[in-house]
Amino acid sequence: MSMVRAMIWKEIHSFLHDWKTLATVGMLLLWGLFLLILPNGFGMDIGLATLSMFLVTLVSNTLTWKSFLYERAENALTSVLASPISPAELFLGKTLAVFLFSYLSLLVVAAAACAVGIGTNELPDASSFAMALLAVPVWGLAVTEIMGALCFVLGSFDLVRWLGGGLCLGASGITHAIAGHAQGVWPALAMTAVGLAAAVAVLVLFSKIGKPRLAR
Amino acid sequence: MSMNNVIEMQGAGKTYPKGKVALHGVDLFVKKGEVVGLIGPNGAGKTTLIKLLLGLLDPTAGSVGLWGQESTKLTRELRQRIGFLLDQRGLYTDLSVEENMHFWAKLYSVNSGKVEASLKEWDLWDVRKDLVKKLSSGMSQRLSIARATLQDPSLVLLDEPTSQLDPLVRVKVLDLIGRLGAKNKTLLVTSHDLAGMERVCTRMILLRKGRIVADGSMSELARHLGVGQQVHIRYRGKIDESLMAEIAAGRNVHAEGSNTLVIGGDTVDTGALVRLLVQHGVDVEKVEEKAQSLEDIYITVVKQDEEEEE
């Protein structure tokens, strides 16, 4: 795990140094906050789980580009592939860094909103909480992995951006559909299990790719 | 594969997907403690060879191994023993100097105290908080070299380590290569800095159009290429055609000015040449023997390449 930790450390430092990335993430989160605090989100009944999923996957999309494609463009990927890190560790480190940064940013904004007493007049039900705290992180991780893998395989920013946008909307749509009809925590647990299976499958598939192919 | 060699390439070839052949059946064996200089014109295949050794490319023919293991399947422990510098430095430009080094230290399980020592050794301590994108080319190159040698590797692969360096730092890099060689480390260095390579390498390899055309010590390289020795003879008098034919037998001879002969060849017996001239009544004024430098050899070979292409 030391290699994965090293990669997470590097990625987080890289995000923190780039004001453009920080500004983009900040804007996205503020936008989400507005949707949360304005009465019924401009008339849309979005719900906590859907909004969390949308924001986490959207922020991940932005950071995935920064993490995966920028490294290739800078020719840093070739060097890191020649180091002792394995493709699976490299991939997991990157996706975890992207995901942790996205989800922790969201939690910070949510905590700030609660601290100033906005959006707390009506507490979400147990199902929404389970969705936001379990399904959203796991799906966020799976979506980040898929986008990261696409970045490696396709190597094209435009294509990845559009596919990432589609994944983000798709994940949010599924969350909205399930959260709208969910009773209790079981739908959230089922969603979490599906997300976890997807995340593991992508990681296993990625670990089969050899360094020469990734270095191309 | 044998464990006696650190580097072992057998019939290694690389053809890129678009059909460009970068290496043709290269056989290269490097033993522990050798300092090997890899020279050749641009496009000769030097960088491809380094990338094959690092496992960044799959050979399309033959095998490439390090310490008896295929280079694309090296264990983590063996990878930790390799220090390398690629032609594209591969630094993270959005991280600081110090952060780049700390990241590398984490990947190679090196303690942070070594990072400080290395940054100080390469005069980068004062700029450790600066982002790499703000460094000059020379400073970035120094950082890459510091990074390549951070974990005290036993095999060092350096692609153009002295490019973009000022003369003082260039000497420092050459000294480092010499020191690593003295510590029985194995080094493979590509460079266009031929004078520098001549100083620090124990063995030279000349790569042309993806093939090794000469391999050995400097003198062996020169002998192999037939550009070993030159004798400059300044004379007074006349050299007729028959005498000139006798001098030129088995040697490269050309006139320099009206009264100097330049005689080159594998080995030139200067004494015999002088005796021959004196016997024919030619007054020999000055004799100068010159061993050809690596640069002379290199230029000769590149010229041959150009002539073949024309």
How many structural domains is chain A composed of? 1
Measured CA to CA, the distance from residue A89 to residue A87 in angstroms comes to: 6
Q: B residues 114-153 near A, CB within 8 Å?
A: 131
Read off the CATH number of the domain in which B54 is found: 3.40.50.300
Beta strands B21-31 and B5-15, pairing class:
antiparallel
pLDDT tens for each residue of chain A, 216 residues long = 889 999 999 999 998 988 888 888 888 877 777 766 665 545 555 677 788 888 888 888 888 877 887 777 778 888 999 999 998 999 899 999 988 888 888 787 777 766 665 555 555 666 777 777 788 888 888 888 888 888 877 766 677 778 888 888 898 888 888 877 767 778 888 888 998 999 999 989 888 888 888 777
Backbone phi, then psi, for B254, in 5-degree steps? -145, 155
pLDDT tens for each residue of chain B, 310 residues long = 555 789 999 999 999 888 888 999 999 999 999 999 998 888 889 999 999 999 999 999 999 999 999 999 899 999 999 999 987 778 998 899 999 999 999 999 998 889 999 999 888 999 999 999 898 888 888 899 999 999 999 999 999 888 878 888 888 889 889 988 898 999 999 988 888 888 889 899 988 889 998 888 877 776 666 556 778 899 988 888 888 888 888 777 888 888 898 887 766 788 888 888 888 888 999 988 876 666 777 777 677 666 666 6
Contact between B79 and A86 using a beta-carbon 8 Å cutoff = no
Q: Same domain, yes or no, for B76 and B209?
A: yes
Q: What is the pLDDT of residues A98-108, one digit of tens each?
A: 888 888 887 87
Nearest by CB: B107 against A6, A71, A77: A6
Q: Same domain, yes or no, for B132 and B203?
A: yes
Q: Same domain, yes or no, for B172 and B241?
A: no
Range of the structural domain that residue B175 is part of = 5-223
Considering only CB atoms, which residues of chain A are within 8 Å of chain B? Answer: 2-3, 5-6, 9-10, 13-14, 17-18, 70-71, 74-86, 210-212, 215
Beta-carbon contacts below 8 Å between A and B: 82
In a domain, B301, yes or no: no
Q: Same domain, yes or no, for B26 and B123?
A: yes
Assign residue A41 a region (left: φ > 0; alpha: ψ between -120 and 50; beta: otherwise).
left
Measured CA to CA, the distance from residue A123 to residue B165 in angstroms comes to: 64
Chain B positions touching A10 (Cβ under 8 A) are 92, 95, 99, 103
What is the SS3 assignment for chain B?
CCCCEEEEEEEEEEECCCCCEEEEEEEEEEECCCEEEEECCCCCCHHHHHHHHCCCCCCCEEEEEECCEEHHHCCHHHHCCEEEECCCCCCCCCCEHHHHHHHHHHHCCCCHHHHHHHHHHCCCHHHCCCEHHHCCHHHHHHHHHHHHCCCCCCEEEEECCCCCCCHHHHHHHHHHHHHHHHCCCEEEEECCCHHHHHHHCCEEEEEECCEEEEEECHHHHHHHHCCCEEEEEEEECCCCHHHHHHHHCCCEEEECCCCEEEEEECCCCHHHHHHHHHHCCCEEEEEEEEECCHHHHHHHHHHHHHHHHC
In a domain, B167, yes or no: yes
In a domain, B80, yes or no: yes
Nearest by CB: A78 against B56, B80, B95: B56
Q: B residues 69-108 near A, CB within 8 Å?
A: 72, 76, 79-80, 82, 84, 86, 88-96, 99, 103-104, 106-108
Cβ atoms A202, A144 nearer than 8 A: no
Cβ atoms B150, B103 nearer than 8 A: no
Q: Same domain, yes or no, for B260 and B209?
A: no
Q: Same domain, yes or no, for B215 and B118?
A: yes
Q: Same domain, yes or no, for B56 and B99?
A: yes
Nearest by CB: A82 against B84, B94, B96: B84
Q: Quote the pLDDT of residue B28.
A: 93
In a domain, B296, yes or no: no
Q: Same domain, yes or no, for B143 and B275?
A: no
Residues 6+ apart with CB under 8 A from A22: A15, A16
Q: Which of B86, B94, B156 is the mutation pick for testing A, counting most A CBs within 10 A?
A: B94
Range of the structural domain that residue A164 is part of = 2-215
Instruction: Please give the structure tokens belonging to residue B213.
Output: 């055309």
Q: Same domain, yes or no, for B163 and B266?
A: no
